[in-house]
Every structure is written in C-alpha cells, then in structure tokens.
Structure 1
Amino acid sequence: MTDTPTAVFRRATDALLAHDMAAFTALYANDAVMEFPFAPPGRPERLDGRAAVESYLDGYTDMVNIQRIHDVVVHETADPDVIIAEMAASGLVVASGAPYTARYIAVLTITGGLIRHYRDYWNPMLFQQVSA
C-alpha cells in the first residue's frame, strides 16, 4: 500500500464512506493539527493531536450519513508532502432525513503515511443544518 499524500487522502475518504471513523482518525499522526479557519462561533478553530480529532469527530456519523464523495480533485504542490483536495460529500442529515451536500477544500500535509496537518475550508452555515 502506497503512502503518497494522495493515496492517504483516498484512504481517508474511503473510511468516511464506510462510516469508519476509527480508520479515518488512525490516518492522523499523534501530534497532528486540524484547523477550521471558518469555524462558526462556539466551535473549535484548531484541534491539536489525534486524540482531539477523535473527540471532535465522536458522534459524527450519528449526525451525518455520508453516502457519496464526489467531484474530487487533488492538486499536488511544489512541496511533495502537501496536497490541496477539493471534494463534495453528499448524504443525509440523520436527525431529519434531509439531504446534505457540502463542498470542501482542504490543505493537507501528509508524511510517512500520516496526516500531519489538515486545514479544512468548509461552509460553517452547514453546521446549522446538521446540528438543528
């Protein structure tokens, strides 16, 4: 199994589709950083460490049932450890059954087969839809 940043990103999206958050967070380094520059008020802008990522994502699959990841484009950068990923995730809001689609742009630093840094540019207005 290859450990290129793109391959690790693909494994992460596969884990999301499988609703396997343990496999998803296992792709993070122990000292990984996850950032949300557009975090809504009351939500974290930064998570430090795999344990913080695990805690943040606890219950995620109880809120959103991701059924499809599409429109995926991965851009390589001048730094071989950094990729920029564009994608959309579609599924259902579990509480209401309403359709859910979100578009994401993420900047990832991946070394040694692990995500070291994940900066997630997503629409914070969607948080209201999921948490309502």
Structure 2
Amino acid sequence: MSAVQPQELKRLFAHSLELLSQGKVEEWVGLFADDGVLEFPYPAPGFPTTMRGRDELLAQMRMFAEQLRAEFSEPEFYAVTDDGLLVAAYTADCTLVATGGRYRQTYLSVVRFENGAITLFRDFWNPWLVMEAAGGEVAWKQAIQALADR
C-alpha cells in the first residue's frame, strides 16, 4: 500500500517533471526509492531499457540534463490509485543542446509509488523524434558513440 493519498502522488509526479525541466537531476533521482527502477520500453538506440538503483539512474539522467532541455506540459492523469499506481500523459518541447534540434515529444508514464518514493517509472516515448532532431539515425548513433568514448 502506498500510504500517500492520490492527490499527493499527483503533486509528487508534477514536481518530478519540474525538476527535470530545471535540470535538477540529483533531486529528481532523490524522489526514487534506493532500489527504484526507470524503464524505457522503447529506448533510442544506444540507451538502456532498464536502470535500477540511484547510481544507475543518476548516471543516465545526468547525461539527459547535459544533452537535452525539456519544458514539460501539465500532466493529464488517467489513473491514480490508493495503492500507489499513477498513469499520466504529457508533452515536452525539447531542444538538443549539441545541435539545437527541436522537437515535441509525447509521453505516457506508468509510475508506482511506495510510501511517497518512486519504485518504478516506466516511460513510453517516441525515440525516432529525438534521433530526427539529432540529424537522423546515423548522426544519432555517432553522437551516442562519442558520449560512450568520453
């Protein structure tokens, strides 16, 4: 059981998007349980599908903050239950730092909370939009390789 009321879960989720918009990655990761999981069922090539624990989350999301600026819309909540399940849809106007490429992303997130901490954040998004903004699939793969080589 979540032990946190649905209205508070909505507030926590909206706050998580504000933190990402502000590039406050450490604070965002702090919303997760120690063993929390971030999943991208459809990741862009070169990105992991699953990150587990705060260290993995922080490593991945630091790169997010360095490479992407995102302004998130207010989330539309489809479900928020007493046992800590939240389903939300929202958009983001995004800019790739390296190229200046811009795109609008639509997200659907399924989030599980326990005692106010995120235990699972499953994020559905379209990886082709970010690759296109980077200059296409070949340019995207070159950029990812350059990050891996640092």
TM-score class, shorter = 0.7 to 0.9
Task: Count matched residues.
Answer: 130
Structure 2 regions of 5+ residues with no counterpart? Answer: 135-139, 144-150
Look up the equivalent residue of 1:126 and give its one-letter code: L
Counterparts in 2 of 1:36 and 1:64: CA distance versus 1, 3 Å: same
Q: Give the corresponding residue for 1:112.
A: 115
Runs of 4+ in 1 over 4 A off after TM superposition: none
CA contact (8 A) 1:30 1:51 kept: no
Q: Give the corresponding residue for 1:12.
A: 16
Q: Percent identity?
A: 25
* TM-score using structure 2 length: 0.77
Greater Rg, structure 1 or structure 2? 2
Task: Identify which range, 2-11 or 28-37, moves more after superposition.
Answer: 2-11
Task: Work out the CA distance in 2 between the residues paired with 1:114 and 1:34.
Answer: 13
Higher strand fraction (1 or 2): 1
* TM-score using structure 1 length: 0.86
Task: Work out the CA distance in 1 between the residues paired with 2:21 and 2:49.
Answer: 24
Higher helix fraction (1 or 2): 2
Q: Give the corresponding residue for 1:93.
A: 96
Instruction: List aligned pairs for 1:9-48, cutoff 5 A.
Output: 9-48=13-52
Counterparts in 2 of 1:77 and 1:59: CA distance versus 1, 3 Å: closer
